[in-house]
Structure 1
């Protein structure tokens, strides 16, 4: 690229004019604006492709998440001389058995405690009617009845839309089952053929690009796997303490709420908020405000322990994502694909952040930039300098310095002492 006029003037010893400086700044701004617009356009095209192919992309993303859970036990079995296909199949079947056992344990609890929930809901409605009849609303029973009748008529008029919604819901359930089966198949293939993928990618993309792609893939896989496993451990601890607390308070559906708390841990911030709010709501409807306040205090205490102890201990540096980015990612994912999108949003954001972090490292390597040392490192270096600092030279009255006799004279780079010459041997 040609050198800017202002730069040429400086190189020739001329002072650049104001017009040259402004023109150089505008040219730099124009070049980078064009590049920025091209990047935004490319990302927009990628986003539209992801939305258009979401039915295909979602099972792939979900399969990768499941594969990160299956990979550690499969690797352990492979290290004990199990064939890759057999190890993957056994771990996958055991995982399905555990998941099915959890569902089988939850279903009877939900069915058995449904009457209590219904009675609590009726009691809650009666409490709401009492609040509406009192201050500050002061609504009469007839007015409340009119509002209820209007709501019933609105539901009757919307019967066709409700039926359409039910059919849409059934279609969604069927699609979810298909996506789940496809994700399990892809997870099986990802885990079984995983050790050969990165070498294949390196060969196909070439030595230079393949090396970068393989490194990005390895880092993204480690980041994704670490997130899933750490969130699973944190979710298990949260579900255990909250579930035990709900049992102590006598809140119905304690086991389903504990399971919901476990899965909510995979949606940072939002998942814990939704699971906790649902637990407090059920406690309020069934057992009243006192129990609801106790459940709220329990959930807040568990969340504080998680945030201040478990997450720093288990996750270390964590995802390296700001909380605002996490919330925006969850919001974008939920608007794109509902609950499934919210579940996958944070892992995808973590992988993107890892890719950007790798690009930043490569830029630092090429430009020779180094990270600034931490305050502790600076203090340690200053202490070392103070410890090994030489004694000050003794000065004469005239200000000339006298070199101590016992101090060796500095040597040249070739090992000789200044002021001396080496005599070649004949």
Structure 2
């Protein structure tokens, strides 16, 4: 038994090592699976109504691209139309901050501000190489993101087109009992992934509605783009919420002042606490069959091990482990003893004798 356990641990380590080496391919595959779970219901509806698989997959892919472009436009167009106001607000905010710093209790003089600015410029000039390296790294990250998005879209198209044929094909390739076990676990894992993505969408929608209502009540500009940004960022745990919250507070600060900005910050903190401790555990625990405490521990562990990606994948991985464990428990459970057949021919013979 110890030898089998050691073999399982070694195989797990080898699989994790291979995933790390092939991450440039694995990550687009994961992203494609995520967006396929969102678009598959529409593709399935079209296929059931007589559409050919390739046509249904093409239409759904195009619709997804149009929707993604509409979301970007919904954020970018209002921001661009009010960019002048926002720029003036940022300048006024900097001036107010400088005037506040010049008064008590800080009493920072103009010469000190100028000196600090010159020191910052000198440091930037001295670290020009580091700045160039950071810029190159940022450009490389953007390029990798574009490549990942393109690969994910192509993979999504093929998943929508040929997905239903995958499990029968997989069953034909595997020997013996694996031809039944592996497709069954894969089908259950697919259902679990769909539940996770849908639950994330519900949580993001709740965040967007609650924060959007707070911004609307305070008359903060760009309410709709900020609500859309909050919904989209919900799919990126921790950092997404921080980024959306920072943007909302900044816009409230430069447009409405410090008091409203603090109120917006309080609203965001309350909503995020409700999301992390109430909404997300309850919704995901119902959809994934996991206890809320397990979900919280999984997100914490995933974030500590792999950062943002670990936080994003922690819950699906935990749910996948639960699916495999439940299936193994079903297969290893002792079968129920057969009940005595009181109406069969053997019982009749025994009675006659």
CA contact under 8 A between 2:196 and 2:284: conserved in structure 1?
Answer: no
Normalising by structure 2, we get a TM-score of 0.81
Q: Which has the higher contact order (CA 8 A, sep 6+)?
A: 2
User: Larger deviation: 152-161 or 113-122?
Assistant: 113-122
Aligned counterpart, 2:69: 100
Aligned counterpart, 1:325: 298
Rounded Cα–Cα distance in structure 2 between residues aligned with 1:355 and 1:265? 27
Deviation at residue 356 of structure 1 after TM alignment: 3.5
Normalising by structure 1, we get a TM-score of 0.68
Change (3 A) 1:200 1:106: same
Mapping for residues 289-304 of structure 1, pairs under 5 Å: 289-300=258-269, 302-303=271-272
CA contact under 8 A between 1:109 and 1:253: conserved in structure 2?
Answer: yes
User: Larger deviation: 109-118 or 311-320?
Assistant: 311-320
SS of corresponding position for 1:266? coil
Aligned counterpart, 1:66: 35
Rounded Cα–Cα distance in structure 1 between residues aligned with 2:74 and 2:237? 26
What is the RMSD computed on CA atoms of the aligned residues?
A: 3.4
CA contact under 8 A between 1:270 and 1:327: conserved in structure 2?
Answer: no
CA contact under 8 A between 1:132 and 1:139: conserved in structure 2?
Answer: yes
Aligned counterpart, 2:140: 171
Aligned counterpart, 1:158: 127
Rounded Cα–Cα distance in structure 1 between residues aligned with 2:91 and 2:208? 28
Rounded Cα–Cα distance in structure 2 between residues aligned with 1:366 and 1:281? 61
Q: Which has the larger share of helix?
A: 2
How many correspondences in the alignment? 339
- Unaligned 5+ segments in structure 2 are 344-349
Rounded Cα–Cα distance in structure 1 between residues aligned with 2:237 and 2:118? 41
Q: Which structure: larger Rg? A: 1
**Post-superposition CA distance 1:112-167 (Å, at most 9, x none):** 33333333333443444455555665544433332221111111222333233323
User: Larger deviation: 200-209 or 149-158?
Assistant: 200-209
Rounded Cα–Cα distance in structure 2 between residues aligned with 1:225 and 1:424? 59
- Unaligned 5+ segments in structure 1 are 1-30, 369-412, 416-421
Rounded Cα–Cα distance in structure 2 between residues aligned with 1:130 and 1:357? 64
Pick from 176, 195, 204 the counterpart of residue 164 of structure 2.
Answer: 195
SS of corresponding position for 1:250? coil
CA contact under 8 A between 1:110 and 1:253: conserved in structure 2?
Answer: yes
